[in-house]
A = this chain, B = another copy of it.
Amino acid sequence: METKKVFLSQREIPRRWYNIAADMPNPVQPPLHPGTGQPIGPDDLAAIFPMNLIAQEVSTDRWIDIPEEVLEKLLIWRPTPLTRAYQLEKYLGTPAKIYFKDESVSPAGSHKPNTALAQAYYNKVFGVKRITTETGAGQWGSSLALACHLFGLELKVYMVRISFEQKPYRKSLMRTWGAECVPSPSPDTSFGRKILAENPDTPGSLGIAISEAIEDTLTSKDTRYSLGSVLNHVMLHQTIIGLEALKQFELVGDYPDIVIGCVGGGSNFSGLSFPFVRDKIYGKELRIIAVEPAACPTLTKGSFLYDFGDTAETTPLLPMHTLGHSFIPRPFHAGGLRYHGMAPLVCQLFLDNLIEAQTYNQLQTYEAGIAFARSEGIVPAPETSHAIAAVIYEALKCKEEGVSRTILFNLSGHGLLDLSGYESFLDGKLTDYEMPEEEVREALKKLEGYPKPRR
């Protein structure tokens, strides 16, 4: 009987987050003010975020202590296991050793609570009483609902209306954890009312929901806004994943040749990989692969430009690979990967050849998800299945070449609240959609005139 899982005791939980800004060969460029075109300072963000999180956003300290109060609540599910996927290896007949970091064991079912807890805490100590946010499929909204309740903060979630209606369980989860969740556009903001007046039947969009959440923040007392991906401090809070994985690999006496994660805004990928990117910067040889959907190929086909983070043009301009803030990806089931941009930190590392990118089509990812569920038991989230598709590709390459490599990926979430996608796949109702070159060109044309960051 071979041991499959490596547990860390709770005493071994990392006490500090790792800030990759301290080690990057080229720093990330600062965000710009859309009006002046000048780099924004901390004060420009103070109406939206608490100052302690803004300080983290711009920090270049290598290690940042995790507050005791946050650690205590991370212990609800952390450290997460590092698991060897023996059954998947056997199914593939590969000489590769496949490991995954299991972030699906959190109460919300994904890695998102890692930053939700930290953000709720910093808002709390800054004196904020109430938080607003947007959510698409609901993973982020539910994670923040849990975190806000644990720290005694109110939360209002603007949930894209089509998801609000199609994914009632995520909404129920937010309510169970004590948050208010409304479909967006809502009659609760002037922007929402405007949209509703123009188009009462609109399905909503992430862009609209962000605008409503920010308007709510700017017009309410003791309220701040919270974002679940893209920003530097979010990536920072997620590095606990990779720091645990490093300790766990030490315990089994192994080290990955390939590290893999799916990317939407970039947070689960960054969380697992940044501590390994650091090793690479200092000379370790390994490959680090960000996996994106063929229907939203930000890193592989987007331009590196200053672009807005949201559709409604309310955020600062961020230096990132983007398909344009007005680009709306075709509907596919991995809702968490339907983002036009990418975390600036991930983009800079991509430019510096420290990480690479791959794309997979929807059907490939569902085949991978089913293969994983039927060998390893856990049903992966559709987002996570993108990472698994890449794992299978690399493991089969090992088989072809007759080489054993150690592959690590982030099981960023389970799919128990996404089973309708599996049902459609099993019924043969899902299709592929690869964004064609002319559509990419057209999307990028809208970005002409946007400032180019220094490389």
Contacts and interface: CB of A to CB of B under 8 A. Distances in A.
Contact of A9 (B3, B77, B178, B422): B3
Interface SS majority for chain A: helix
Interface string A1-15: 111110111110000
Given A374-B149, A378-B107, A416-B416, A426 B9 contact: no
B77 A176 contact: no
Contacts of A71: 1
A422 B172 contact: yes
Given A9-B3, A10-B5, A75-B3, A426 B377 contact: no
Contacts of A76: 4, 87, 376-378
A419 B72 contact: no
Contacts of A150: 87, 377
B419 A172 contact: yes
A9 B146 CA distance: 29
Contact of A107 (B68, B379, B420): B379
A146 B1 contact: no
A42 interface: no
A417 to B, nearest CB: 6
Contact of A176 (B105, B177, B419): B419
Contacts of A249: none
A109 B178 CA distance: 23
Interface string A170-185: 0111011110000000
A120 to B, nearest CB: 13
A419 B138 CA distance: 14
Nearest to A72: B1
A169 interface: yes
How many copies of this kind of chain does the complex include? 2
A172 B417 CA distance: 11
Interface string A142-162: 000010011000000000000
B1 A176 contact: no
Contact of A4 (B4, B10, B171, B377): B10
Contact of A175 (B171, B377, B416, B422): B422
Given A109-B416, A178-B374, A416-B109, A173 B379 contact: yes
Given A378-B107, A416-B417, A423 B3 contact: no
Contact of A370 (B7, B75, B176): B176
A373 interface: yes
A384 to B, nearest CB: 14
A374 B177 contact: yes
A224 B57 CA distance: 60
A168 interface: yes
A376 B107 CA distance: 9
Nearest to A75: B4
Contacts of A77: 377
B75 A426 contact: no
Given A3-B10, A4-B72, A169-B419, 4 more contacts: A3-B11, A150-B377, A172-B419, A416-B417
19 contacts: A1-B68, A1-B71, A1-B75, A3-B11, A4-B75, A5-B10, A7-B8, A7-B9, A87-B150, A150-B377, A168-B419, A169-B417, A171-B423, A172-B420, A172-B423, A177-B373, A177-B374, A416-B416, A416-B417
